[in-house]
Structure 1
Amino acid sequence: MARHPRSRLLCVLAVLALLAGLLAAIPAPPARAEVEHPRQKWMRDSTAGLFLHWGMFTSPRHLDCATWEKDVTGGGWSPDYWVDEARKLGASYIVLATFHSRLGYARPWPSAIPGSCSTKRDLLGELVKAGQAKGVRVLLYMTDDPQWHNETGTETLDSAAYSAYKGEQVDLTTRPGFGEYSYDLFFEVMDRYPDLAGFWIDNDNEYWESHHLYEQIRQKRPSWLLSNNNEDTPIMDTVSNEQKVGMTPAYDYPQAAWTPMPRLVEADYKLPTTGDWWYDGSDHSVDFRLSTGRYITNAGSSMKSLMAETPMVNGKFPPSQEKFNDFMAGWVPPIKSSLQGLEGGGYMYGGMQPGFWNDGAHGVVTVDRGGAKTQYVHVVTRPRTDHVRLRDDNYRVTRVTDLRTGKAMHFTQSGGYLSILDVTAWDDYDTVFKVDTAGQGLYYSGVKASASASRTGFPAADLTDGDFSNYWDSNAQLPVSMTFDLGARRPATTLAVNQREWSPTYARTSFGRPEDSARIKDYRVRASDDGRAWRQVRSGAMASARGVRLIDLGLQYTRYLKLEVLNLWGGPQAPAFLNQLKVDEVKVGYGYQRSFGRPLPLEAEAHGNVLSHGARRTLCTACSGNLHVVGGELTYRDVNAPSDGDYRLQADTTSAKATPLRVTVNGGEPTTLTVPAGSADAPDSTALAVHLKAGANTVKLSGPGIDRISVSPVPTDLPRTTMTVEPYGVQWVGTGRQTLKVKATLRLDTDDQLDGVELAPKVPDGWTLDGASVKADSLRLGQTITGTWTVTSPDPVAATKIPVNATYRTLGRPQTTTRNLDVRPRPADRTFMREAEDSANAPGSTGLTGCGPCSGGEKVRNIGGDPTAAVTFPNVTTDRAGQHTLYIDYTVNGTRSYQVSVNGGPPATVTVTDSGNSTPRTTSLPVTLQSGANTIKIYNDAEAAPDLDRISLD
């Protein structure tokens, strides 16, 4: 948990095939993913678990097992305390991590197997018994890794004692020896504690795999769960996602998940927002907003919140954690019915669309796995207005109530949205609305699907079979299209697209593995009556977001619809996700649910508005209220603001072509901005900043069709962007005058707008810049701006960071995004030097990770164990043919080897040894190079190699 060792992705099926002849005596069936099994039911019905890292090295650190046990007991340790605290959190299970590499490999039971700390008091047995009495199950954490055996300078693994016990020499500090030792412990635990709920296993050990450990656990304890950290190991029941960060909003943990339903998934995170995974002597704070948000969004994505707390030596939690537990004990019960035993809505179990809603609102939906007639809308971030508006996915809503208060809420439905109105009481962390429905309708059945490309075994027919266990795969081909045959010419209004939830929603590096979204970005929709002549009815960008995505088509009469996918969000830095489109289901809608209650505020067709200069109300099926105003001028006479100030005005407009939108407030100077081409009968949104006075204001609009407007305070957060600069990584150059080509790209990642965008490097004094800044009037969702320049240094060149700046406005506010190009002169004794993370290299399936002491602050890890896990350095240049010394800067823990091949020649083996894997070291070998460009490949097909910082030549 607190360590991040390299996890070996070894296929259990392949291991069984290789070892079947040697291990035929073990009657174990082949491993396969048991995605759903009756033994999992109790965890599927749960909302959360409590993860406890606690052991001999809990502060104050003990180096003697007996002294630690004495202080545990003398301090008043009680298993009931842990069980009661878990219940406060709404947790159904506890994972106990004492046999942990950073906690002294402590075993909280009187073990008959020597080798590491073991207590005389049966703490594990007491905890299991206490949990049984109160309905809380216990899983035992087991680690695969001996690398921290002497972290404190004191040896915690007793190889001599274990060797005497086994009657053979076994070195517990090696992976095979530790694997054998821990293998024996698994069986001891299974024999002693039949009421344990299972094992939570931190990565794999080769000894376990080669000896069919998991298969034997299945046979011996078929009701136990097996959980695995950060890997989707087929035989395991759960996949646990550890400590994911970087998403927007910060609490939406599922954005980093990469395992689709119905796989049983945990979100494993710390409640203390700083410090180690275990108690380090400090009372670290708990962020209530972050922690409750994770709790709710995980539940709304069918993920279990495995919350890590840090018990002290006596088992008690520090005050900040106890305070949070006490809060949860009162906060969860009133909304328990919306969390426990339910599934995430908007996915395979049905339900309305989760994610970002109106006016800054964000939340999730929970539904019963047997059907989505009753749904719970969890508003985790409240809107800046008094109503919530979300896509209803064609569920007909009959009643809405506030779950905490029981109050019946006003609501309205039209244009594909449910709006819950007049909300005056907001919970600080999660306002929950119970939404009763008459079920889902207005989608065709029997639609036939075809595609321009498919991977064998994943046909286009799976797009419309109603079964989320089947999906279509585009076979890495883009652009690609999906065609839907309605059987006859019929009305069509919507495409509801559920993409495979197998990738995070944003680019990230997790445990050294590059990840990115494999979701649709730019798309087009065409319609045809005969399958030959096609007309475009919609185009745009789809947000990289989880859950069902809905495309409004206007009202089309057609037999065929074709969804053309032009590109995906993922970039080349994450090759495993690049162009890998997978889609679970696509439904074709032929209408929208409609209620006749209170209308949504600020509808264009409202009778209090003034229509002039030919403006008229006309039918618009996809619009709010099913009407919009086209032509002439539309004037709102009563747009209210609570106080003088700037506000965000959103206009939902209809227009088949790019059209100027003219907005005038209180008779002042008009503001004009361009609404991009969309649809004449399906609205899109455009926002601008306006100044309003307290009370009633007059707002006049003209240009495109107007569906409605909304007014809210200007948001404090900014639209999310992605900016890349190439070359990436420190650029090591000679000492004379140097010239470098620079390329930069800015992308808008949210459904918002940037105006007045300008992109350019800013060179320091003495440098020159060739090339002008690039500009764009505006950027919308998914759009990019790219520029290339040449920068030239003075002579001599000095270490310099060249900022590349993107400036823009959002709602009138100026903003700047900056990325630096880092240039440094090479050491005098090097003729070539390049970082492993440099964008010029081909990284294969390896990944980046931070490394403070490393050159450039990063290194490449996950090298080796697979032919694709290699780093290839092209264009390694020298002006002298012949023998050179190649220097390799690396980090390693233990003994590992590289294979080094030059220009495709036979590899040389380089073996290195060190401890800790955090301090860069240098090794060297002779290589023969040709004059000019050379290619150097660093790899190890057979096993894990050291991490790589950079290479250089003499």
Structure 2
Amino acid sequence: MRIRLLTCLAAALALVASLVSPANAELYNPRQDWLRASTAGLFLHWGMFTAPRHTDCAAWEHDVTAGGWTPDYWIDEAKKLGASYVVLTTFHSRLGYARPWPSKIPGSCATQRDFLGELIAAGKAKGVRVMLYMTDDPQWHNETGHESLDSAAYSAYKGKPVDLTTRQGFGEFGYDLFDEVMDRYSDLAGFWIDNDNEYWEQHGLYEHIREKRPSMLLSNNNEDTPIMDTVSNEQKTGMTPSYDYPQAVWTPMPRLTEADYKLPTNGDWWYSGGDQAVDFRLSTGRYITNAGSSIKSLMAETAMLNGKFPPQQEAFNNFMASWTQPIKESLQGTEGGGYMYGGMQPGFWNDGAHGVITVKPGAKTQYVHVVTRPSTNLVRLRDNGYRVTGVSDLRTGKPMRFAQSGGYLSILDIQDWDTYDTVFKVDTAGQQYFYDKGTIKATASANGASAANLVDGSYLNYWDAGGQLPVSVTLDLGRKRSTAYLAVHERESSPTYARESFGRPEDSARIKDYRVYASDDGQNWRTVRTGALPSTRGVQFIDVGEVHARYLKLEVLNTWAGPQAKAFFHQLALDEIDVAYGYPDPRGEVPLEAESWRNGFEGKASPVWCEACSGTNEVTGLDRGAVVFRDVQAGGPSRLQLDTTGSGTLAVSVNGAAPITVTVPPTAPGVVTPTAVAVPLNAGANTIKVSGTAGLDRIAVAPLPPESYTPRTTLTVQPAGVQWVSPGQQSLRVTASLRLDVDDPIDQVSLAPVVPAGWTVQGDPVTASSLRLGQVLSGSWTVTAPAAQDVTIPVTASFQTLGRAKSVSKPVQVKQRPADRVFMREAEDSANDIGDAGVTSCAACSGGQKVRNIGGSAGAAVTFPDVTVAAAGQYRLYLDFTVNGDRSYFVSVNGGAPAEVKVSGAGNNTPYTTSVPVTLNAGANTIRIGNDRAGAPDLDRISLG
């Protein structure tokens, strides 16, 4: 991949528009059929600067041929990976802009040997298609002192002066190359385009391709451009678990989507010498989870000069050829399950398990891929109404014992775990107990006209709340009916968590806090369920117990997205809502069900009917008795999960010891809620006695998570960014919020800043006895220093999880302002408005961050409010920045006419400083820095002299 700023106007607008509205793209076309049927592709970065680096085109071509390059090797290696296409990435900004075909158009390296043509022919013979990578970006033309672009030669060819180092000139050059390739290679599958060039858009390149070669596919990187067939997503990282690539993807099905990632764990996208390792766990996990979300895995390998892959990459290819063979039917001809194609619920399952579902569209067979195995020998997942008739281990064919009840499938007694993906083939009789969509009418409090899309059975239509929250959806069942749960299909148009991608903030636009109401007449409503949904992909379920009503209302109070991600904040879109009146017929028994005949019942404790419970029974009367679980096997101290109904407390006694009190959170009648506690079990058999005021469905025992485990939280602290202060006593207002992001409660929560000796804090720590999924603890304090000094003030949240003390922290950095500055502020400071720009890391920058993606539109600017000076007059405004090439800022003070500031530099990680005179008012001023017409440099900070 090339490294660049996405700063042109079209790119910025296309990305923002794609995040908040449908792409209006051509979702289905016969030219896409082959890619829809694909699981994977091979991304080949290979060119003049492949090690050993060449600067002479003829010498590079000679050495490639002399080294024994052959197209069949690449095609065969692709087939080992299950790849049905290859993207040849040679006309690349960081690889010398080489063209691996005998081009008649001068301007950059072109070979005499037709490497591209040979590859296309070899692929066609073996059923592998070839796409050609095309870059839009000339900025790296002289990256290391060698000029890769020949403007003079191209100008002579065109009969007019053209500067290939400019975006317009390079765009014209690229346009000609597209035409040449289309004329030469009718069997080329299409183009993989690394972002748009303004010249291409202005001159209708993509429309021209559609007219000239309607069968060729168009793919674009990191943008949802409507005319493109495919949305590609480059090197997403930071997920939990790390392999779950789809968590970072924001394009809903059925849009064709790729995940583009490196197989070598380290190093460049291209071969730069050495034999880089391949992380088998990460790479296989990505492969499987992408398949489980109908995302194509475009895997980048680093071919050497002669085309061969380094030994560790070859070894991975050989491994994949054998490892995927027994599970091929679950990966080929399948779609992601839990989405528009049906299937059970993917994601986080029991006891640390995580995986995805693949389904055969139109068939009743689906596949459960356990990528992270649980700490126990069973897998338990939501069945989405499918009645299961049989389960088998796909690799071995071994039939598996299973149980089903209360909306869950449990696969039991699993002994043969695959290291990377244990796959179970699940045969079903289809979905049961869902009301016919034709009998339900939907209305909404916002954008009500489109609410009918929620029950039309089509995922090509959806309901958008139009930026309004809270918002509600009302479902009219036609008459008074029973309801057990709602299956909510949220539109997969955002990542699942807060992140930055190419410097732009992203966040989850999924439901967080909700309420469900019921009514017999549509006028008088009663609350039947309150809670929070996790920010995860796939169908989500809201159990309501047993409700008898004609009308149901789902009120969404908020979503997970924060205000830092403007494209996602207050956005909500839903594809479908299904209403279920029951669960598939129960079968089998899950270990440690409360009503099991193996248990002992004391006093008034006895089993009663509970449709949503495991085994369709729970034990009540525990306030006047107890249930005793005998022969509970464990390996030592364990995590005990209690699935309960009602509310109150439970007393848990282990092996006759003093009882441990467990608080059961309140919930609706007939709704099962899990609560976990650490218990001192012995290795071997144990006895657990449970009494109390709640109902008990089942218990589950698993090893405690590792000591390093900390439930995922989001800690937001302001001010963010280095705070530059003047001499003397200083006070800062600090605010913080802690949010729990997983359904794993934390207890004894405390949040406060921790100041150095000599400092004072006004305000006590804020505390909560517990936090559950989505709940927030917030506080505000004033911290005061005796004198200006360079310090870091951590704002720390401490809490207990399963009896272990944990903490998370974020710093507020305070530094003394230099003596020759009267004001200084970081560009990434939370006091600023960065609009459509974004914050990114920069090790060489002040505070370790900078603002990128400035310019190209009026919205992509940084506005500094409250720039305060003591006296009116002229000051010198210093701009600390990074830039590669020649660019301009436009600086406006207090809404005045913008002044252009031209800058130049080499390398986006090298800080520079420039200055411009500005006239300021006494007191607060506002300074805006941007470039409405073109990309501007990245901005580190500003200061006043």
CA spacing shift, 1:736–1:702, aligned 2, 3 Å: same
Unaligned residue ranges in structure 1 (runs of 5+) = 15-30
The corresponding residue for 1:842 is 833
Residue type of the alignment partner of 1:933 = A
SS at match of 1:758: strand
Q: Which residue of 2 aligns with 1:872?
A: 863
Match of residue 321 from structure 2: 329
1:668 aligns with 2:660: no
Please say if 1:760 is aligned against 2:746.
no
Gap runs ≥5 in structure 2: 15-22
Q: Give, in angstroms, the shift of residue 447 of structure 1.
A: 4.5
> What is the alpha-carbon distance in structure 2 between the residues aligned to residue 639 and residue 788 of structure 1?
51
C-alpha separation in 2, matches of 1:106 and 1:727 = 48
Among 656, 660, 667, the alignment partner of 1:678 is 667
Q: Is contact 2:50–2:272 with CA below 8 Å preserved after alignment?
A: yes
- 1:370-769 alignment, distance < 5 Å: 371-445=362-436, 446-455=438-447, 459-596=450-587, 598-632=588-622, 633-643=625-635, 645-655=636-646, 657=647, 659-703=648-692, 704-716=694-706, 717-769=709-761
Counterparts of 1:207-222 in structure 2 under 5 Å? 207-222=199-214
- 2:48 pairs with 1:56: yes
> Which structure has the higher relative contact order (CA within 8 Å, separation 6+)?
2
Q: Give the aligned partner of residue 224 of structure 1.
A: 216
Corresponding letter in the other structure for 1:172: L
Q: Deviations over 1:885-912 (max 9, x none)?
A: 2222222223322232222233222222
Query: What CA deviation, in whole Å up to 9, does each residue of 1:902-939 have, x standing for no partner?
Result: 22233222222223233222222222222111122222
Residue aligning to 1:4: 4
- In the alignment, the residues of structure 1 paired with residue 868 and residue 165 of structure 2 have an alpha-carbon distance, to the nearest angstrom, of 42
> Is 1:276 the counterpart of 2:287 in the alignment?
no
- Aligned letter for 1:288? F
Alignment TM-score, normalising by the size of structure 2:
0.97
- Aligned position for 1:87: 79
Helix, strand or coil: the match of 1:82? helix
Alignment of 1:280-319 (within 5 A): 280-319=272-311
SS in structure 1 opposite 2:152? helix
Distance 2:412 2:900 in 1: 69
* 8 Å CA contact retained: 1:609, 1:634: no
In structure 2, how many angstroms separate the alpha carbons of the residues matched to 1:8 and 1:879? Answer: 38
The answer to whether the Cα contact below 8 Å between 2:266 and 2:276 also exists between their aligned partners in 1 is: yes
Per-residue CA deviations over 1:467-488 (Å, capped at 9, x if unaligned) read: 1111111111111111111111
Moved more, 325-334 or 930-939: 930-939
SS of the counterpart of 2:919? strand
Q: Tell me the distance in 1 between the aligned counterparts of 2:786 and 2:885.
A: 45
d(CA) in 2 for partners of 1:9, 1:315: 38
* Paired residue type of 1:4: R
User: In structure 2, how many angstroms separate the alpha carbons of the residues matched to 1:499 and 1:637?
Assistant: 40
Change over 3 Å in CA distance of 1:804–1:62 after alignment to 2 = same
Question: CA offset at residue 12 of structure 1?
Answer: 13
Matches within 5 A, 1:113-262: 113-262=105-254
For 1:238, the aligned partner's letter is: T
SS of aligned partner of 2:549? strand
2:358 partner amino acid: T
Residue 595 (structure 1) shift: 3.1
Q: Could you say what secondary structure the match of 1:874 adopts?
A: strand
Aligned-residue offset at 1:494: 0.6
Partner amino acid for 2:273? Answer: G
Conservation of the 8 A alpha-carbon contact between 2:102 and 2:110: yes
Structure 1 Cα separation of the partners of residues 447 and 668 of structure 2: 33
Q: CA deviation at 1:7?
A: 5.2
> Structure 1 counterpart of 2:667, which letter?
G
3-state SS of 2:112 partner: coil
Q: Is residue 4–residue 511 contact of structure 1 (8 Å, CA) maintained in 2? A: no
| CA distance, structure 2, for counterparts of residue 238 and residue 469 of structure 1 | 17
Deviation of the 1:340 alpha carbon? 1.0
Percent identical residues = 67
Return the alpha-carbon distance in structure 2 between the equivalents of residues 756 and 13 of structure 1.
Answer: 45
Contact in 2 for aligned 1:449/1:482 (Cα 8 Å): no
The one of 877, 883, 888 aligned to 1:886: 877
Cα shift readout 1:500-527 (whole Å, capped 9, x = no counterpart)? 1000000000001110000000111111
Which residue matches 1:802?
A: 793
SS of the equivalent of 2:680 reads strand
User: Which residue identity does 1:502 align to in structure 2?
Assistant: S
Render the CA deviation track for 1:101-125: whole Å, top value 9, x for unaligned: 0011111111111111111111111
* Residue range with higher mean Cα deviation, 542-551 or 855-864: 855-864
CA contact (8 A) 2:7 2:936 kept: no
Q: Which residue of 2 aligns with 1:98?
A: 90
* 8 A Cα contact 2:454 2:462, kept in partner: yes
Secondary structure of the residue aligned to 1:567 is coil
Cα distance per residue 1:372-424 (max 9 Å; x no partner): 51111111111111111111110111111111111111112111111111111
Q: Deviations for 1:265-317, whole angstroms, at most 9, x for unmatched residues? A: 00000011111111111211111111000000000000000000101111111
The separation in 1 between residues aligned to 2:579 and 2:432, in whole angstroms, is 11
Distance 1:706 1:13, change over 3 A: closer
Between 1:890-899 and 1:63-72, the stretch displaced more is: 890-899
Match of 2:126, as an amino acid? K
Residue type matched to 1:470 in 2? Answer: N
- Give the deviation of 1:325 after TM superposition: 0.5
User: Does the residue aligned with 1:459 lie in a helix, a strand or coil?
Assistant: helix
Superposition pairs of residues 338-353 of structure 1, within 5 angstroms? 338-353=330-345
The CA distance in 1 between the partners of 2:551 and 2:439, in whole Å, is: 10
- Counterparts of 1:372 and 1:248, CA distance in 2: 31
Shift of 1:616: 2.1
Closer, same or farther: CA 7–404 of 1 in aligned 2, 3 Å: farther
Question: For the residues of structure 1 that align with 2:531 and 2:631, how far apart are their CA atoms?
Answer: 31
1:9 Cα deviation (Å)?
5.5
| Rounded Cα–Cα distance in structure 2 between residues aligned with 1:190 and 1:182 | 12
Three-state SS of the structure 2 residue aligned to 1:896 is strand
Deviation at 1:449, TM superposition (A): 4.2
Q: Do 1:453 and 1:475's aligned partners in 2 also have CA atoms closer than 8 Å?
A: no
CA contact (8 A) 1:604 1:634 kept: no
Task: Find the aligned partners of 1:435 and 1:134 in 2 and give their Cα distance.
Answer: 33
Which residue number corresponds to residue 36 of structure 2? 44
* 1:68 maps onto 2:60 in alignment: yes
RMSD over aligned Cα atoms: 1.6
Code of the aligned partner of 1:671: I
Query: Could you tell me how far 1:695 is from its partner in structure 2?
Result: 2.0
Aligned partner (choices 901, 904, 917) of residue 926 of structure 1: 917
Q: Tell me, in whole angstroms, the C-alpha distance in 1 between the residues paired with 2:933 and 2:642.
A: 59
Alignment partners' CA distance in 2, 1:838 and 1:808: 28
Q: Is the 8 A contact 1:490 1:557 kept in 2?
A: yes
Letter in 2 for 1:614: K
State the alpha-carbon separation in 2 of the partners of residues 261 and 7 from structure 1: 27
Q: CA deviation at 1:867?
A: 2.4
Residues 1:12 and 1:844: Cα distance change in structure 2 (over 3 Å): closer
User: Which residues of 2 match residues 797-836 of structure 1 at below 5 A?
Assistant: 797-836=788-827
Q: Which range moved further: 576-585 or 839-848? A: 839-848
Displacement after TM superposition at 1:32 (Å): 6.0
Displacement of 1:757: 1.4
